[in-house]
Amino acid sequence: MLRLLDQRLLPGRLVWRDCPDAAAAAAAIRSMVVRGAPAIGITAAFGLAAEFARAPASGDAAVTCFEAAAGRLHDTRPTAANVRYAVERMRARLDGLLDLGASPAEVASGLEAEAEAIFAEDLAANHRIGAFGAGLLPRTAGRKARILTHCNAGALATAGYGTALGVVRAVAESGREVEVFAPETRPYLQGARLTAWELLEDRIPVTLITDGMVGSLFAVRGLDLVVVGADRIAANGDAANKIGTYQSALIAKAWDVPFLVAAPFSTVDLRAPSGAAIPIEERAPEEITEFAGAPVAPDGVGVWNPAFDVTPARLITAIVTDRGVARPPYEQTLRSLSPA
């Protein structure tokens, strides 16, 4: 059975939650027990496999349950391309098995195998992304390399190793000294709670800052590289990622520091021509008006809480995928990396 580490409780407590069916998977994604685009895609895949396996023995009823669950999972977090990728892959596998006349038990084990494959492929993809991305870190003349990230695009957000933090890990594994700067990532604090914890666990030096300190960090301390993850990358290279990413990209451009987006190809959505076609999730006002459950803003204040922003392709030095490194013009390079 799928078991998820409850990321809402980190870094204070390590609590695992059982996820026996698609409804539990959808609830875990919506409530942020699990978050990060690849991790929620993988969760959706295992949720669908579990849903088919526990449905009534009749194949038709199980297919109906599967389709209802697919719809629910698809709508959980609209920005992440990986959820749609996982749902579409699971549906294609289901259709293939049904066309072959597989029994309900054979379909159930085929779907489980597909979810396992999505998990294993993501893990392998992250190691390839790490290797490609590490090669793009500029020389630092014998001193520690200083890398800025945003949110958490690490092992917690993926099958393991991470995308942006996979690049950091690959740099550290190559023997280069590295120091990471992690903005806290308002309002949900993925940087403070998750990235800082994950890197400290790996003994990679990390310094926590507030989101508003990024400009000063470039000006006062200096940076060698920015690397972030993505929830969805459009065909023209525009990339949606955690709110706050766009301003880091603008500042990196002003300081002429390379800005990398690291993501598996399952995050690339060639059906979205540009960032304007990417749906941006808006979350509850309480994430901003309250802090740890206590009010920090006056009752009745208006709130805008988009969970993601879109960094225009012109600010992105390179998009590091598991299939290789794409550089501008992304319309051509992303398509040329795409599986047929």
N-term to C-term CA, the chain:
33
The yes or no reply on residue 156 touching ligand MRU (CB under 6 A) is no
Total chain residues near ligand MRU (CB under 6 A): 16
Q: Using CB under 6 A, which of the segments 92-100, 155-163, 219-227, 319-327 binds ligand MRU?
A: 155-163
The yes or no reply on residue 37 touching ligand MRU (CB under 6 A) is yes
Q: Decide: residue 299, CB within 10 A, 0-12 exposed, 13-18 middle, 19+ buried.
A: exposed
Q: Radius of gyration of the chain from Cα atoms?
A: 20
Distance CA 338, CA 267 (A): 11
Q: Which of 2, 129, 157, 168 contacts ligand MRU by CB under 6 A?
A: 157
- Residues 184-223 touching ligand MRU, rule: CB under 6 A, are 190
- Which stretches does DSSP call E strand in the chain? 2-5, 16-19, 145-148, 178-183, 206-209, 225-228, 232-234, 239-242, 259-262, 268-269, 290-291, 294-295, 308-311, 318-321, 324-326
Q: Which residue type, as a one-letter code, is found at position 77?
A: R
Smallest gap from Cβ 264 to ligand MRU, in A, equals 8
Q: Using CB under 6 A, which of the segments 19-27, 157-165, 175-183, 314-322 binds ligand MRU?
A: 157-165
Q: Using CB under 6 A, which of the segments 11-19, 52-60, 226-234, 284-292 binds ligand MRU?
A: 226-234
Between 241 and 317, whose beta carbon lies closer to ligand MRU? Answer: 241
Q: Using CB under 6 A, which of the segments 35-43, 114-122, 217-225, 329-337 binds ligand MRU?
A: 35-43
Q: Which of 43, 76, 163, 311 contacts ligand MRU by CB under 6 A?
A: 163
The yes or no reply on residue 307 touching ligand MRU (CB under 6 A) is yes
DSSP conformation letters of 42-74: HHHHHHHHHHHHHS-SSHHHHHHHHHHHHHHHH
Where in the sequence numbering do the catalytic residues fall?
Answer: 231
Q: Which of 151, 155, 172, 319 contacts ligand MRU by CB under 6 A?
A: 151
Q: How many residues can be counted in the chain?
A: 340
Distance CA 201, CA 212 (A): 26
Smallest gap from Cβ 149 to ligand MRU, in A, equals 9
Residues that bind ligand MRU (CB under 6 A): 35-38, 151, 153, 157-158, 163, 190, 229-231, 241-242, 307
